């Protein structure tokens, strides 16, 4: 097992995000019926970020990381459902992220797999 020199943010979709998905045209969402509120409970994503500093309150650390990364996080989550961005909310704001996702900061990240970690630029 390897300790990564990263912390992490886990984003879990909230009902407001699911409401937005349900407004997408069927050809984008490919859904036969609207998603239930709990449909994405198992769909959280983990984003690796720079290690949280040892000092500082957790809320301050989270605010600092979100100030730097909110737009990339939000755009990535929206692009899962609308890759071209033609139905994204306007304007995209930092305030939208915590309205649409529960954000859980995780101070330590471990790689429990033996194989090399693969990365791909998006």
DSSP bridge pairs for 106: 8
Asked if 84 contacts 28 with a C-beta cutoff of 8 angstroms, the reply is no
Q: How much is the CA Rg of the chain, to the nearest whole Å?
A: 16
- Tens of pLDDT, residue by residue over 4-63, are 999 999 999 999 999 999 999 998 888 888 888 888 878 889 999 988 876 655 667 788
Say if residue 36 is exposed, middle or buried (CB neighbours under 10 Å; 0-12, 13-18, 19+): exposed
Structural tokens at position 7:
């912390």
The highest-confidence range among 36-50, 52-66, 73-87, 102-116, by mean pLDDT, is 73-87
Say how far apart CA 95 and CA 93 lie, in whole Å.
5
pLDDT on residue 55: 63
Domain boundaries, the chain: 2-111
pLDDT on residue 58: 63
The highest-confidence range among 54-58, 62-66, 82-86, 104-108, by mean pLDDT, is 82-86
Dmax (CA) of the chain: 49
The stretch 112-119 carries a mean pLDDT of 89
- Which helix (H) or strand (E) segment is 10 a member of? strand 6-13
Please state the pTM of the whole predicted model: 0.86
pLDDT on residue 64: 86
């Amino acid at each position: 097992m390897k300790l990564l020199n990263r912390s992490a943010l886990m984003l879990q979709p909230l009902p407001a995000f699911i409401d937005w998905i349900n407004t997408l045209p069927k050809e984008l969402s490919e859904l036969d019926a609207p998603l239930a509120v709990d449909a994405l409970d198992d769909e959280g994503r983990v984003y690796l970020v720079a290690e949280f500093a040892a000092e500082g309150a957790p809320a301050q650390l989270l605010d600092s990381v979100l100030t730097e990364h909110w737009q990339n996080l939000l755009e990535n989550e929206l692009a899962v459902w609308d890759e071209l961005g033609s139905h994204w909310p306007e304007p995209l704001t930092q305030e939208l992220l915590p309205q649409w996702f529960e954000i859980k900061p995780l101070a330590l990240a471990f790689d429990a797999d033996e194989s090399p970690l693969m990365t791909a630029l998006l």
